[in-house]
Structure 1
Amino acid sequence: MREILTLQIGGYANFVGSHFWNFQDEILGLREAGFEDPMIPTHGLNMDVLYRQGETRERQATYTPRLLSIDLRGSSGAVNPSGSLYERPPPAVVSSIHTWQGPAATFKAERHERNKFLQSLDDEEAQYREQPGDAKAEEIVDVEVNERQRYIYQSLEEEVQFSTDYLKAHLHPSSTYQIPGCWQGVTPFEDYGTGQGLFSSSARSEEIRDRVRLFVEECDTIQGFQCFVDDSGGFSAVAADLLEDVGEEYGRTPIFLFTVRPPRKVYDTLASKKKKITHALHDSVSLARLSSIAHLTVPLGLSQVAACSVAEHLAILDEKDYHTSALYAAAINCITLPFRMEAVGPSDGSQSSGLGGTDMGTALPLVSCSDSRRVAMMQASFPSPALLESKGEIFYNLHNTSSLTPSTERPKLGDRVAKLLVLQGTQLPGTTGERATVGQVHKSVVKAHEITAKTGRFSSRLATSSHLAISECPLAVPLPFPFIFGNKIGRFGNILSRTVGGGKQGRGGLDVSSVPVGASVSSSEAVLPYIKRRALDLQRFALSRSTTGPSLLQDWGFDGEESKDLRERLTNMVAAYSEMVESSSSDTD
């Protein structure tokens, strides 16, 4: 077994994580139902890679995500941070011993009521524990239940405040860690300095280390750490210190990092000069530190998700984290699919449900290529269009995907690209939603490269190396998924020629049961503008005596030598990606 431990650090990262685990829960639910849905073949996926087996004190078997989620106090809303599977901890008692003589402030949070969705989960579990009733009576209720379900799931559109408001999975008590003394909505947590040193506190660091050890020591052979980090504020510093500690303790174990941030974190152009400098240095320091620790870093955080080309067939609202995080989670779920696919023998995949299963230790070095090129851009298509047909042959459109990484360009034909491409649930030409076999998809990608070789000027240099993974299993859409599908999306995520349904609201999990997805990560020179901007900002503000930059870096704990080290890291990255540009240019002369 090659297990993965997932780390979710920060508020928006946990929004992404809740969607990610709902996708996994949907696969498990299809399996537990006792039948294999012909439209969602789940065989070939090993869920033990992400999940751990355990039992309660009453010897009840449990199957929970191998997960450590870190956030501020009060971020779990109406859900108990310790979960409901195990014995709940006693309520906190305020000590009557007073040793602090200075001023004190009391903050009292209002109790959050469980929303309609969480209440429905409680009702389902209560019914599950009871003896099933008459089958005919249950059939009669089905129609009423569907209407009630629609009301419940639509209500999430207005009720979601916390990442736990729509999370279906039960968590282990050690999976959730809320930072003591830091409260959501009360503690300032907007930039790198606000999180600096929080992990270094001996009590906090040891408690978090113990939780990581708990999950790692249960593994037969840990494959790696997949990390979702909200890098828009103080959690960037927390994550950098934690991942540095993980790297020191677990040596060469791969770390696959996705930094995520919501659209509203793109800073106001009318902000004061000091705030602009703070934001710019935050972004620069975050990239320099995190990318030097992780084996591959993929930044996700468009300034406008609703307006991006990936959302062409979606009805996303940028102001809702519940919406935008769903798109990022779908892309992450797709690109990490090879790590939990069962390995198959060498073939074109014509007789299997998947092709190209691999592990982090193999995939990440392939994409990063060198220590100076550890930042990659992600492209995705959601839903992914069907294969194209021309003159009796089908082929995959190599330009199906669009970037989810900000400040990047579409790779050109001459770009030297190291790429991991994953396609799941790809459909045959037409609008019926009929799935292509793994063999058909594989041949269509090969055919697409052949066509490019005949017509493209830089055909021989499309990629220095690449890995293709294909799964017949599309993204199974869970019912609490947001209503973001447009009215030209069919039941199986197929793109229709006509509209369906009515009203302005999008369609959700009751209308769309599965979706084909395509995703890739690549270390092409297209990511250079993203890195260059941060390198220039750090150089400009860290050295200028006329700005607050130098004193700000000192306040964040970076002395002269450490600031110089940060600048060198970004400068080396710029040089490495610039070499790719120069190499491509010289090849075209």
Structure 2
Amino acid sequence: MKEILTLQVGGYANFVGSHFWNFQDEILGLGEDGCEDAMIPTHGLNMGVLYRQGETRQRIATYTPRLLSIDLRGSSGAVNPSGSLYERPPAAELNSITTWHGPAATFRAERYEKNKFLQSLDEEEKWLSGGAQGLDHTRAETSSRDATDLATQEAHVREAKEQERAVIQSLEDGVQFSTDYLKAQLHPSSTYEIAGLWQGVTSFEDYGCGQGLFSTGEQAEEIRDKVRFFVEECDSIQGFQCIVDDSGGFSAVAADFLEDLADEYGRTPVSLFTVRAPKRVQESKSTNRQIVRALHDSVSLARLAAVAQLTIPLGLSQLATSSFAEHLVIKDEKDFHTSAVYAAAINCITLPYRMEGSGPSITSQKAGLGSLDMGSALRLVSCSSSRRVALLEANLPSPALCDIQGQSVYNVQKLSPLTPSTGKATNGSHVAEMMVLQGTQLPGSGVPATIAQVQESVAKAGEIAVKARRNSRQSLRISHLAVSQCPLAVPLPFPCIFSSYIGKYGNILPRPNVISKQGRGGIDVISAPVAARVSTSRGILPFIKRRSLDMQQLALARSTTGPSLMQDWGFAREEVQELSESLSSMIAAYGDEVESDTSDTD
């Protein structure tokens, strides 16, 4: 087995991560005996790639994410950051400290109450262990086992539906922390809260706030120990999958952390997704804040891209009104909403890393096609590491196969960028790409297409595209296609972001004359097809060039406040020059031509 260690650094990254692990938890649940759904085939996925097996001191078996999450103190809300699976040492009492004889005062923050979803998880655990019955987390359509007649059965269904809707509404109205909707049980080594920095109290808005934090001896060693705990029990680790909130000080923390990781683990591949919420990419009206934000973005890209084999920025300034949200009802101000979208895209594009190996022929590939380990995927997309920044396009739900010129074709043009300030990936430029399709459906039915049908439809789409561009300049394309029949399994705590005309299995139904503004969530939509493509085309150049230009004009020009700001952040002028040269080298790797068509601005 080739395991993956997932690293989540920062508040919004952990919001994305909670959705990501909920998707995995739903797949595990559907794979259990008696829970299978013929429309959601889960075979062909090796969940051991992401999970670890262990046991408590009472020798109770556990199955927990292979995860390290880093955040501020107090970011776990009502959930104990050490989890509930393992025993924890008792907290020290003031009267037990004998080395201090002066006056002492105790300050306690108000304890957060668990929301209805977390309460339902506690009740379910009691029910599973023989105690009180909790919320039935199968679907409301599942009949109660002890129902003796149809009327009783229907009453149980209605009651379960009402409970589920109450849970969903509590999340829609009041998610404050990433733990508010996290289903997975975590190992104590999976969380680390930075000492002295508190959620909602400490300002942590720009690069300088996090600069040097990881280099603090005690904290750095504690984080290293947690990483070693997971790595040393792996048979053969295939890489580190990182999700980083790069909108503030965690960008600096992650850069130092990943640099240290590279020193200790050498050539182990690092795949990096940088994420930020829409409200964190809005332009400030203050000139000084604009300079701070521009330099933060420039330094963040230069440093993070240097410590990962491939960096994929995610974070549109307006997700709700983007082309990606054609079939979604998203509220940009809700991290609970927007993080679900990015998690779905990350879940899809990383699917090849945890797919079982493909057979030698299409007929033997019933589970999936195109499994690929992380290192091979990163080398393919980055063109042997010369291109270190990629753009990601996706759609949710992904459309069914369609008829074009009498042929069944997958419409690749429906993919929309989730990377900001990027041009289209298919305008005839040199491009290396990996595309993943999961749960693609046959037209008009919601029934999953076979692996062979999807593969053939993508090939035909490519042939049609080449013919359409025959008279234009067409450069080399290096591509990899991965296909899985398993769609995105939508868990109960998924936000209500699907449009009212999206069916139970994520199929796009005919639109009614009046479309409801009320979205549908995990109660009404239990799965959805997803498609994602990551590519290192020249469409990413506007994103890099803007940051390179800001570095040159603001950090190196003595006529601005930039040089003094960079000095305050701990960068000497020589280091600033190196960062600028690093960004220029990234641009050179893609060539001189820049496509003018952009899909979003920062």
**What TM-score, normalized to structure 1?**
0.94
Counterpart position of 1:168? 183
Please state how far the C-alpha of 1:261 moved relative to its aligned partner. 0.3
Please state how far the C-alpha of 1:581 moved relative to its aligned partner. 5.2
Letter in 1 for 2:567: Q
Counterpart position of 2:62? 62
Letter in 2 for 1:87: E
Please state how far the C-alpha of 1:199 moved relative to its aligned partner. 0.6
Q: Structure 1 stretch 547-556 or stretch 441-450: which is displaced more?
A: 547-556
Counterpart position of 1:315? 329
Is residue 195 of structure 1 aligned with residue 219 of structure 2? no
Q: Deviations along 1:59-100, whole A, 9 cap, x unmatched?
A: 000000000000000000000000011113323545575699
Please state how far the C-alpha of 1:317 moved relative to its aligned partner. 0.1
Tell me, yes or no, if the aligned pair for 1:73 and 1:183 is still in contact at 8 Å.
yes
Q: Of 437, 440, 445, which aligns to 2:458?
A: 445
Q: Of 367, 373, 377, which aligns to 1:353?
A: 367
In 1, Cα distance between equivalents of 2:56 and 2:406: 58
Counterpart position of 1:587? none
In 2, Cα distance between equivalents of 1:533 and 1:264: 20
Please state how far the C-alpha of 1:347 moved relative to its aligned partner. 2.3
Letter in 1 for 2:587: V
Distance 1:22 1:356, change over 3 A: same
Return 5+ residue gaps in structure 1 as ranges. 583-589
Distance 1:113 1:502, change over 3 A: farther
Counterpart position of 1:75? 75
Tell me, yes or no, if the aligned pair for 2:501 and 2:515 is still in contact at 8 Å.
no
Letter in 2 for 1:393: Q
Tell me, yes or no, if the aligned pair for 1:413 and 1:459 is still in contact at 8 Å.
no
Tell me, yes or no, if the aligned pair for 2:243 and 2:273 is still in contact at 8 Å.
yes
In 1, Cα distance between equivalents of 2:417 and 2:426: 13
Please state how far the C-alpha of 1:358 moved relative to its aligned partner. 0.5
Distance 1:539 1:108, change over 3 A: farther
Partner secondary structure for residue 453 of structure 1: helix
Q: Of 367, 382, 395, which aligns to 2:381?
A: 367
Tell me, yes or no, if the aligned pair for 1:488 and 1:500 is still in contact at 8 Å.
no
Q: Deviations along 1:330-369, whole A, 9 cap, x unmatched?
A: 0000000000000022323575120000101101011111
Q: Deviations along 1:501-545, whole A, 9 cap, x unmatched?
A: 985320011100100000011000000000000000011111222
Q: Of 136, 161, 165, which aligns to 1:150?
A: 165
Mapping of residues 504-515 of structure 1, within 5 Å: 504-515=517-528
Q: Structure 1 stretch 459-468 or stretch 215-224: which is displaced more?
A: 459-468
Mapping of residues 120-159 of structure 1, within 5 Å: 120-130=120-130, 135-136=146-147, 139=153, 140-159=155-174
In 2, Cα distance between equivalents of 1:443 and 1:498: 29
Please state how far the C-alpha of 1:171 moved relative to its aligned partner. 0.1
Partner secondary structure for residue 32 of structure 1: coil
In 2, Cα distance between equivalents of 1:326 and 1:404: 13
Distance 1:360 1:349, change over 3 A: farther
Q: Structure 1 stretch 116-125 or stretch 386-395: which is displaced more?
A: 386-395
Is residue 436 of structure 1 aligned with residue 449 of structure 2? yes
Mapping of residues 284-363 of structure 1, within 5 Å: 284-348=298-362, 351-363=365-377
Distance 1:100 1:400, change over 3 A: farther
Partner secondary structure for residue 312 of structure 1: helix
In 2, Cα distance between equivalents of 1:499 and 1:156: 28
Letter in 1 for 2:583: L
Counterpart position of 2:288? 274
In 1, Cα distance between equivalents of 2:194 and 2:58: 30
Tell me, yes or no, if the aligned pair for 1:368 and 1:418 is still in contact at 8 Å.
yes
Tell me, yes or no, if the aligned pair for 2:269 and 2:374 is still in contact at 8 Å.
yes
Counterpart position of 1:552? 565
Please state how far the C-alpha of 1:105 moved relative to its aligned partner. 11
Q: Of 523, 535, 539, which aligns to 1:526?
A: 539
Counterpart position of 2:553? 540
Tell me, yes or no, if the aligned pair for 1:230 and 1:261 is still in contact at 8 Å.
yes
Counterpart position of 2:141? none
Q: Of 529, 532, 541, which aligns to 1:516?
A: 529
Counterpart position of 1:385? 399
Q: Of 191, 198, 221, which aligns to 2:236?
A: 221
Please state how far the C-alpha of 1:500 moved relative to its aligned partner. 11
Please state how far the C-alpha of 1:390 moved relative to its aligned partner. 3.6
Q: Of 208, 213, 221, which aligns to 1:206?
A: 221
In 1, Cα distance between equivalents of 2:527 and 2:356: 21
Letter in 2 for 1:340: R
Return 5+ residue gaps in structure 2 as ranges. 134-143, 596-602
Is residue 241 of structure 1 aligned with residue 256 of structure 2? yes
Letter in 1 for 2:541: L
Q: Structure 1 stretch 387-396 or stretch 496-505: which is displaced more?
A: 496-505
Tell me, yes or no, if the aligned pair for 1:3 and 1:223 is still in contact at 8 Å.
yes
Letter in 2 for 1:260: V
Tell me, yes or no, if the aligned pair for 1:317 and 1:324 is still in contact at 8 Å.
yes
Tell me, yes or no, if the aligned pair for 1:413 and 1:462 is still in contact at 8 Å.
no
Counterpart position of 2:507? 494
Partner secondary structure for residue 136 of structure 1: coil
Letter in 1 for 2:529: P
Counterpart position of 2:196? 181
Counterpart position of 1:118? 118
Tell me, yes or no, if the aligned pair for 2:387 and 2:589 is still in contact at 8 Å.
yes
Partner secondary structure for residue 331 of structure 2: coil
Mapping of residues 81-96 of structure 1, within 5 Å: 81-94=81-94
Distance 1:446 1:114, change over 3 A: same
In 1, Cα distance between equivalents of 2:561 and 2:100: 40
Q: Structure 1 stretch 249-258 or stretch 361-370: which is displaced more?
A: 361-370
Q: Deviations along 1:468-505, whole A, 9 cap, x unmatched?
A: 00000000000000000001111110111134998532
Counterpart position of 2:483? 470
Tell me, yes or no, if the aligned pair for 2:8 and 2:17 is still in contact at 8 Å.
yes
Q: Deviations along 1:426-469, whole A, 9 cap, x unmatched?
A: 01112x21111000000001111111222223688365311100
In 1, Cα distance between equivalents of 2:389 and 2:297: 14
Please state how far the C-alpha of 1:560 moved relative to its aligned partner. 1.8
Please, what is the CA RMSD of the aligned residues? Answer: 2.2
Letter in 1 for 2:234: C
Is residue 21 of structure 1 aligned with residue 25 of structure 2? no
Q: Of 426, 435, 444, which aligns to 2:440?
A: 426
In 1, Cα distance between equivalents of 2:483 and 2:218: 45
Counterpart position of 1:586? none
Tell me, yes or no, if the aligned pair for 1:487 and 1:500 is still in contact at 8 Å.
no
Q: Deviations along 1:280-321, whole A, 9 cap, x unmatched?
A: 110000000000110000000100010111111100000000
Letter in 2 for 1:231: D
Counterpart position of 1:34? 34
In 2, Cα distance between equivalents of 1:499 and 1:105: 63
In 1, Cα distance between equivalents of 2:473 and 2:371: 26
Q: Structure 1 stretch 309-318 or stretch 108-117: which is displaced more?
A: 108-117
Letter in 2 for 1:136: A
**What TM-score, normalized to structure 2?**
0.92
Q: Count the aligned residue pairs.
A: 578
Tell me, yes or no, if the aligned pair for 1:525 and 1:581 is still in contact at 8 Å.
yes
Letter in 2 for 1:222: I
Distance 1:551 1:107, change over 3 A: farther
Letter in 1 for 2:115: N
Distance 1:8 1:134, change over 3 A: closer
Tell me, yes or no, if the aligned pair for 1:350 and 1:437 is still in contact at 8 Å.
no
Distance 1:128 1:268, change over 3 A: same
